[in-house]
Amino acid sequence: MAQIQTLAVKSDCREVLINITRSVTNAVTASGVTDGVAYVYCPHTTGAITIQEAADPDVALDISHTLTGLVPLDAGYRHAEGNSDAHVKASLVGSSDMIPIDGGRLCLGTWQGIFFCEFDGPRNRKVLIKVLEG
């Protein structure tokens, strides 16, 4: 039976995309699954998971910058904690992704990487990974 693996992720600023591809790859390797799927899930309402270009770090910066422009920090939100923008950004990006596994390897495109998106840091977060054979 597949176990859920927990990945600790620490952000050092309010908004940042953190490449977690290597950690997800390690979870797949540790599982021993050669054909199946890896589920990557963020159990936080102000964080998200996305698959995006990992070769050029400016792509992650551009995504963060664009989301900040679309959903500014102070736009008269009603939520009293002051992090409504983070909730909206997390909702737009999404809390999970699934990546097929073939031959023991994640089926990512040449430039793709898996990112944890922090929208309300700095914080200590976790990402849940479940690798299923099939």
Q: How many CA atoms lie within 13 A of 90 on its CB side?
A: 21
Q: What pTM value is reported for the model? A: 0.96
* 16-19 β-sheet, strand order: 16-19, 112-118, 47-53
Instruction: Look up the domain containing 13 and give its range.
Output: 4-133
The full length of the chain comes to 134
Q: What is the pLDDT of residue 2?
A: 78
CATH of the domain at 105: 2.60.120.460
Instruction: Give the number of domains in the chain.
Output: 1
Please list the pLDDT of the chain residue by residue as tens digits (134 residues). Answer: 679 999 999 999 999 999 999 999 999 999 999 999 999 999 999 999 999 999 999 999 999 999 999 999 998 999 989 999 999 999 999 999 999 999 999 999 999 999 999 999 999 999 999 999 98
Tokens of 4: 């859920």
